[in-house]
Structure 1
Amino acid sequence: MCDIYASTEPALYEAVSRSIRLNGQVTSLRLERRFWTLLDQLAHQEQLSTPQFISTLYLEVLQRRGEIQNFASLLRVICTEYASRQASTMQEEVAELH
């Protein structure tokens, strides 16, 4: 079983930094390439560029919570939520076919 995960392509978990403007300030976010891919998909789904999506998300979280402890971790969790929802949707669609 572990071979499925152990054989993951190293490029997917390579850390990649991108400069993003958050709340008027340029900052650097460092995430694994796979998370950037998911964020790109999320942004595309919302008809925004990835920087626009991340900036909007940042401002919305600030409005709801007043602060963000670890924004990179939040982005990773958001990506896993997105992937889980995508998988659930696919399972529902397959179930409807049977």
Structure 2
Amino acid sequence: MCEIYSGAEPELFALKTRSIRIDGVVTSIRLEAVFWQILQQIADEAELTIAEFLTRIYREVLLKNRQMSNFSSLLRVACTTYLNQGTRLVLAQPISDLESLTT
């Protein structure tokens, strides 16, 4: 049953670090290779470079929240939203309930 998930090629989940300029500041972002591929698709569809796309996301988050807590995680969530055709996933259970399942 889990072969579709467990059988992923190691290249897809290999961590890749890229230096990106956001608002004139060079920063390093570390994501799995598959997420970089998805971000490239999103940027291509928007006719933007990855740097332009990430800068837009970064600025929008700062406008809404005034802070950035975990940009890499936000990008992973953005990719899942893209793969779900713009539908954001919602946690079915509170995080505290999920944590109790792992202990």
TM range (shorter): 0.7 to 0.9
**Percent identity (aligned):** 45
Q: Which residue of 2 aligns with 1:76?
A: 76
Distance 2:62 2:23 in 1: 10
Amino acid at match of 1:65: N
Q: What is aligned with 2:25?
A: 25
Deviations 1:4-51 (A, max 9, x none): 211111100000010011232111000000000010011011110111
Q: Which has the higher helix share?
A: 1
Unpaired segments of 5 or more residues in structure 1? 87-98
> Quick one: which amino acid aligns to residue 81 of structure 2?
E
Q: Number of residue pairs matched?
A: 86
Aligned residue type for 1:71: F
Distance 2:6 2:73 in 1: 22
Distance 1:39 1:30 in 2: 13
Counterpart residue number, 1:64: 64
Query: In the aligned structure 1, how far is the partner of 2:54 from the partner of 2:18?
Result: 11
The Cα RMSD (Å) is 1.1
Structure 2 distance, partners of 1:62, 1:6, is: 36
Scaled by the length of structure 1, the TM-score of the pair is 0.83
Q: Which runs of 5+ in 2 are unaligned?
A: 87-103
- Tell me the TM-score normalised to structure 2 length: 0.79
